[in-house]
Amino acid sequence: MFGIADYGAFVVAIIIFLAIPGPGNLALLTATGKGGMRAGMAATLGVIAGDQVLLWMAVAGVSALLVTYPAAFVTVQWLGAIYLVWLGAKLLGTKMGDAPVLELKPHHYMRQALVITLFNPKAIVFYMAFFPLFVNPAVHQGLVTFAAMAATIAVLTFAYGLVLVLLAHFLAARIRGSAVATFALNKTAGLLLIVFGLKLALSK
């Protein structure tokens, strides 16, 4: 289909990739817990937009540039790490009853999720290594094949985000009124973001 080798396996692989815990999933959960379903879906759109930018950068060969010039790759790693650690530190610094660190406006969550996704340089390398596995040279249609892959990833990410947001919203509705629960969620989210940031900075 569109030059994609084993489209079914491609879909399964993307779903598995989406289910792996990471900054994107955390952004969706945090946004939903703080701003409800609109914020969660806005964050989902931010993740989709970020993924589309990264995968097309990978298609264009940017990942090869980053690998060829380690200094550029390390710089992007550190920028991403600094942002995640800074955001995590802000969440850890909240006190009981404080206003949320993040605005509850959906467009803010979309922008934040977009930035978090873009500052994950390993995703570029992932897409560059992942795409060739599902390209059939005999029937490859160039841009059409990559566009079909990009569209599939976008649709699956939206569906996954919708399910995740619905689940998070159902749980958040029970604890949103609890200052203790909100305080605990902020601390947990902050710690996870710092861990993600440090892991990104220390990885090679």
How far is C-alpha 75 from the chain's CA centre? 19
- The b-or-e profile of 174-203 (16+ CB within 10 A means b, else e) is eeeeeeeebeebbeebbebbbebbeebbee
Q: Identify the sign of the CA torsion 156, 14, 42, 45.
A: negative
Q: In this structure, are residues 43 and 113 in contact, taking their beta carbons and an 8 Å threshold?
A: yes
Name the helix (H) or strand (E) containing 20.
none
Integer Cα distance of 82 and 38 in angstroms: 28
Residue pLDDT tens, the chain, 204 long: 776 777 887 888 788 777 765 677 778 877 887 778 888 899 899 999 998 988 888 777 655 655 677 676 567 667 767 877 887 788 788 776 555 554 445 567 888 888 888 887 667 666 766 666 676 666 667 678 888 889 999 999 999 999 988 887 777 666 555 566 667 766 777 787 787 677 766 765
What pLDDT is recorded for position 102? 43
How far is C-alpha 77 from the chain's CA centre? 15
What pLDDT is recorded for position 104? 42
